[in-house]
Amino acid sequence: MPGVFLKDALVTLKESGVRITPQRHAILEYLITSHTHPTADEIYKALESDFPNMSVATVYNNLRVFQNAGLVKELTYGDASSRFDFVTHDHYHIICDECGKIVDFHHPGLEEVERLAAHVTGFKVNSHRLEVYGTCPDCGEAQNEAK
């Protein structure tokens, strides 16, 4: 499936007039195959051995290009670092209060929230965001071992 997402994303970029450089290709592929919602710095560190001339600024600039093309969402959750998520489908995030891990989940019934909000308020709803916070299994296990 990641190959299909990458192919479609490359087509979207080309149709937007964006030139596909090796760095763009690598950053996009990393985002699609990564399930960790990486920061720009994490993407840079993962790719720096393959692209020694690439800077963190290059990663940020390309992430902005991907955002403008509608391929990537920037996730900000109160800490200083933005995380980036490749847009495959509508989904939600559960975030660990301890380590900051972000995990995707999907619940189709939550789309009803937009319809209800629009109906009750008269707003034209553009989007919504749901975040659930807790302790991931790894951090929970570490806490139990510390007791």
| In the chain, where the domains are located | 1-88, 89-147
Give the model's pLDDT for residue 6.
84
Q: How far apart are CA 111 and CA 94, in angstroms?
A: 17
CB burial readout 121-132, b (16+ within 10 A) else e: eeeeeeeeeeee
| pLDDT band with cut points at 50, 70 and 90 for residue 143 | confident
Where is the binding site for Zn(2+), in residues?
A: 96, 99, 136, 139
Mean pLDDT computed over 124-141: 86
Superfamily of domain 89-147 in CATH is: Ferric-uptake regulator, C-terminal dimerisarion domain (3.30.1490.190)
Where is the binding site for Fe cation, in residues?
A: 111, 128
CATH architecture of 1-88: Orthogonal Bundle (1.10)
Give the model's pLDDT for residue 73.
86
Residue 43 has pLDDT above 90, yes or no: yes
Residue 9 three-state SS = helix
Q: How does the average pLDDT of the chain come out, rounded?
A: 86
For the stretch 73-117, pLDDT in tens is 888 866 667 888 887 667 788 888 888 888 878 777 777 888 899
For the stretch 11-23, pLDDT in tens is 888 888 889 999 9
